[in-house]
Structure 1
Amino acid sequence: LNAGTHRPMPGRDFSAATLRQLLEANVMTAANGIEAVLPAMLARRSGQIAIVASLAGYGGLPTAAAYGAGKAALINMAEALRLDLEGSGVAVRLVNPGFVKTPLTDRNRFPMPFLMPVEAAAARLWQALEYGRQFEIVFPWQFALIMKALRLLPYPAYFPLVRRATG
């Protein structure tokens, strides 16, 4: 449910209205979708809910205060639902893509490490949803590994590394 949208929001231009719009687009649309399908899945004791967040939800990144906050909320929601729905027959999956070459990423004016062709991302997602059993689906794996490692660092190391990597 919901890959969402991103609007760069540098900290000096922080806007509660922009944050609200992105939370509505990226979090509440997923929540509304889950609310709509979950009762029927629970009643039949089967189903799969795939929540699309982003590797950007792992930690704060420049210009992503609104986008990253929404993606972090989706990650947390997916984790909680996975625990709550265990044994119900409803599988909860978390999809955390990195950069995928689309018309949206074509507009980005910043480095996009391990930019992945959309066809490869779609194939990875399809394969994982159809045949995989893992909770979290990430791609490209190289960028996911870097982002997971960064979130384990203490802030005095995290901030300089992210700043250096993003310019």
Structure 2
Amino acid sequence: MIAIAGKRAWITGASSGLGRELALQMARDGWSVAVSARSAEKLDSLVAEAESASGHIVAYPLDVSDLDAVGRTVQRIESEVGPIDQAVLNAGTHQPTPAHDFKAADFRKLVDLNLMGTINCLEILIARFRTRQAGRIAVVASVAGYTGLPQASAYGVTKAGMINLCEALRVELAPDNITVQVVNPGFVRTPLTDRNDFPMPFLMEVEAAAHALYRGLSRDSFEITFPRRFTWMVKLLRVLPYPLKFAVTARMVRRGQEGSS
């Protein structure tokens, strides 16, 4: 287990789902938590819920796709809450991108928010953490980044890029005493997954998923992944010979079509 001095965290994408629940759990455990998302109203609701449970959460509304706004927000957080010890970069969205409705605009939307939004945060954080020679960063990707999955070509591109990015940064930033972790969840019950019209194996409740993530933050392992049985199944899919892999994914498409009919 890793002792984290100060216990000040910044969580992006905290207005709902995994980020929101993680913020509540960390606040209940004594962390001072700065939270960001585009919806100020939802963040205010989160702050109120934390206060009723004697937790300390401070809201900083932010669109992470705006680099200048990210810089100003991190400056405010570190001035008002204190130096960030743990950042959890969770902001992102998902939308199906089926091949029969392939549009560059859909890819641009997901790349700008999921990938470039994360990179914007990293630019600001890495500079500050290197100056202090300390800091921890967890980037929330997905098992969709392991391999190409039906109707997730755009989402998978962003998540695969995030995994690759973290693999590179983990090694480069270690001499600066900066720990980089990647979080690869399976299916978690959130407002985003509520839109899915296909079977979601090993679907986790958000409270359990946030607990698994929080537990992983306290360790030094590179990857935090849950639920383990499902994530290892997808990892196995990644290494199968292509003919077998494509047969499995084609079956997934058929099951999804049957489930939505």
TM-score by length of 2: 0.62
Q: Is 1:43 aligned with 2:131?
A: yes
Partner amino acid for 2:244? A
Identity %: 52
1:107 to 195, 204, 209: 195
Point out where structure 1 has 5 or more consecutive residues left out of the alignment.
none
Partner amino acid for 1:45? Q
**Partner Cα separation in structure 2 for residue 116 and residue 31 of structure 1:** 28
1:124 to 200, 212, 223: 212
Q: Is 1:31 aligned with 2:122?
A: no
Secondary structure in 1 aligned to 2:176? Answer: coil
Contact 1:58 1:151 in 2 (8 A): yes
Residue equivalent to 1:142:
229
**Partner Cα separation in structure 2 for residue 119 and residue 29 of structure 1:** 25
Residue equivalent to 2:252:
165
**Partner Cα separation in structure 2 for residue 5 and residue 66 of structure 1:** 11
Residue equivalent to 1:153:
240
Provide runs of 4+ in structure 1 moved above 4 Å: none
Contact 2:216 2:224 in 1 (8 A): yes
Q: Structure 1 residue 3: deviation in Å?
A: 4.3
Contact 2:91 2:113 in 1 (8 A): no
* Matched positions, count: 166
Structure with greater contact order relative to length (CA < 8 Å, sep ≥ 6): 1
Partner amino acid for 2:237? L
Greater gyration radius: 2
Residue equivalent to 1:8:
96
**Partner Cα separation in structure 2 for residue 65 and residue 7 of structure 1:** 10
Secondary structure in 1 aligned to 2:114? Answer: helix
> Cα 1:37–1:140, aligned 2, differ >3 Å: closer, same or farther?
same
Point out where structure 2 has 5 or more consecutive residues left out of the alignment.
1-88, 256-261
Q: Structure 1 residue 69: deviation in Å?
A: 0.5
Contact 1:46 1:89 in 2 (8 A): yes
**Partner Cα separation in structure 2 for residue 3 and residue 164 of structure 1:** 31
The RMSD of aligned alpha carbons is 1.0
Secondary structure in 1 aligned to 2:179? Answer: strand
Secondary structure in 1 aligned to 2:137? Answer: strand
Contact 1:2 1:29 in 2 (8 A): no
2:143 to 55, 60, 76: 55
